[in-house]
Chains A and B, each alone.
Chain A
Amino acid sequence: QKEVEQNSGPLSVPEGAIASLNCTYSDRGSQSFFWYRQYSGKSPELIMSIYSNGDKEDGRFTAQLNKASQYVSLLIRDSQPSDSATYLCAVNNRGSTLGRLYFGRGTQLTVWP
């Protein structure tokens, strides 16, 4: 049973557009939700975390969480070519060993000039 699923992509948007990345999770008791960005040939890096329902904004990035629907998303406004990367959704499930995250398979985003 898959724990975390993401829209598989690839997703391609023009520069300046809004990129929308989606993620669903299976454990209703999940408490913490994260978005990692991974550039080609590089390691993942944390860009957003969200713990309660609603929106959380950080610059051009907005994370949205809806626990009732078991859904978390990442919006990237005014997308730039430098945003081209694979975005990984990660969830810290209830009952999991402290610090263990479950990752989705990632969505590859390309922003074209």
Chain B
Amino acid sequence: DVKVTQSSRYLVKRTGEKVFLECVQDMDHENMFWYRQDPGLGLRLIYFSYDVKMKEKGDIPEGYSVSREKKERFSLILESASTNQTSMYLCASSLIVANTGELFFGEGSRLTVL
């Protein structure tokens, strides 16, 4: 059974803290993505990666960075958390074959920044 695992389901952090969100997939997928989802705004892409050590900015990369040192792991980093980064964060992975469209999502990490 395919699986994308996010390390934390719920986090509460304080403004200015550094936050790490970890994501691991066991499907040998090339592509990995980080989205955030907010009511009324839908899924917005923060960063994605199509290979180890490769990364590309999505639509809202400001305030975030990512790391992909191994194929199965993709980390999202908030260098200095702010209250407007309170959100649900979703990691996803997919095969690199075009047009498959099937993203496999993790269960999400709900981050609250106080």
Q: Which residues in chain A, 53-93, are within 8 Å of chain B measured between CB atoms?
A: 88, 90, 92
Residue of A42, A44, A46 contacting most chain B CB atoms (<10 Å) = A44
Is there contact, CB below 8 Å, between B42 and A88? Answer: yes
Decide if A88 touches B43 in the complex (CB within 8 Å).
yes
Which B residues from 41 to 99 make CB contacts under 8 A with A? 41-43, 45, 48, 50, 56, 90, 94-99
The chain B residue sitting closest to A42, CB to CB, is B107
Interface hub of B43, B48, B56 (most chain A Cβ within 10 A): B43
B96:A44 contact, CB within 8 angstroms = no
Nearest Cβ distance between residue A10 and chain B, in whole angstroms? 12
Known: A32-B99, A98-B31. Contact between A105 and B41, CB under 8 A? yes
Interface size on A, as a range, is 20 to 34
1/0 contact string of A89-101 vs chain B (CB within 8 Å): 0101000011111
Q: Which residues of B contact A105 (CB under 8 A)?
A: 40-42
B107 touches A34 (CB 8 A): no
- Contact of A49 with B by CB under 8 A: yes
Q: Which of A32, A44, A92, A97 interacts with B105 by CB under 8 Å?
A: A44
B79 to chain A, nearest CB (A): 24
Return chain A residues, CB-CB under 8 Å to B43. 44, 88, 103
Chain A residue numbers with a CB within 8 Å of B97 are: 98
Q: Among B30, B98, B106, find the residue whose CB has the most chain A CB atoms closer than 10 A.
A: B98
Answer whether residue A26 sits at the interface, using C-beta atoms and an 8 A cutoff: no
Q: How far is the CB of B90 from chain A (nearest CB, A)?
A: 6
The one of A46, A99, A104 in contact with B31, judged by C-beta atoms closer than 8 angstroms, is A99
Q: Contact: A90 with B101, CB < 8 Å? A: yes
Q: Which of B48, B99, B101 contacts A97 (CB 8 A)?
A: B48
A-B contact pairs, 11 of them (CB 8 A): A43-B106, A46-B101, A90-B101, A92-B98, A92-B101, A97-B56, A99-B30, A99-B31, A99-B48, A99-B95, A99-B103
Q: Point out residues on B near A: beta carbons under 8 Å.
A: 30-31, 33, 40-43, 45, 48, 50, 56, 90, 94-103, 105-108
